[in-house]
A and B are shown apart, each in its own frame.
Chain A
Amino acid sequence: MVHFTAEEKKAVASLWARVNVEEAGGESLGRLLIVYPWTQRFFDSFGNLCSESAIMGNPKVKAHGRKVLTTFGNAIKHMDDLKGTFAHLSELHCDKLHVDPENFRLLGNMILIVLASHFSKEFTPQMQAAWQKLTDAVANALAHKYH
Chain B
Amino acid sequence: MVLAAADRAAVRALWLKLGSNVGVYTTEALERTFLAFPSTKTYFLQLDLSPGSAQVRDHGQKVADALTLAVDNLDDLPGALSALRELHAHKLRVDPVSFKLLAHCLLVTLARHYPGDFSPAMQASLDKFLSHVISALAPNCR
Q: Is the CB of B112 within 8 A of A123?
A: yes
Which one of B27-35, B69-77, B84-92, B134-142 is at the interface?
Answer: B27-35
CA distance A114 to B113 in the complex (A): 12
B17 nearest CB across to chain A (Å): 16
Q: Is the CB of B108 within 8 A of A30?
A: no
Q: Given that A35-B127, A56-B120 are known contacts, is A113 also in contact with B32, CB under 8 Å in the complex?
A: no
Interface residues of B in 1-50 (CB under 8 A from A): 28, 31-32, 35-37
Interface residues of A in 116-136 (CB under 8 A from B): 116-118, 120, 123, 125-126, 128-129, 132-133
Interface residues of A in 46-62 (CB under 8 A from B): 52, 55-56
Q: Is the CB of A123 within 8 A of B108?
A: yes
Q: Count A-B contacts at CB 8 Å.
A: 56
Q: Which residues of A contact B104 (CB under 8 A)?
A: 109
CA distance A112 to B37 in the complex (A): 14
* Cross-chain contact of A117 among B112, B121, B124 (Cβ < 8 A): B112
Q: Is the CB of B36 within 8 A of A125?
A: yes
A28 nearest CB across to chain B (Å): 10
Q: Is the CB of A117 within 8 A of B115?
A: yes
Nearest chain-A residue to B51 (Cβ)? A125
* Cross-chain contact of B35 among A34, A120, A123, A128 (Cβ < 8 A): A128
Q: Can you show 7 pairs from A to B with CB atoms below 8 A apart?
A: A31-B123, A34-B124, A52-B120, A116-B108, A123-B108, A128-B105, A128-B108
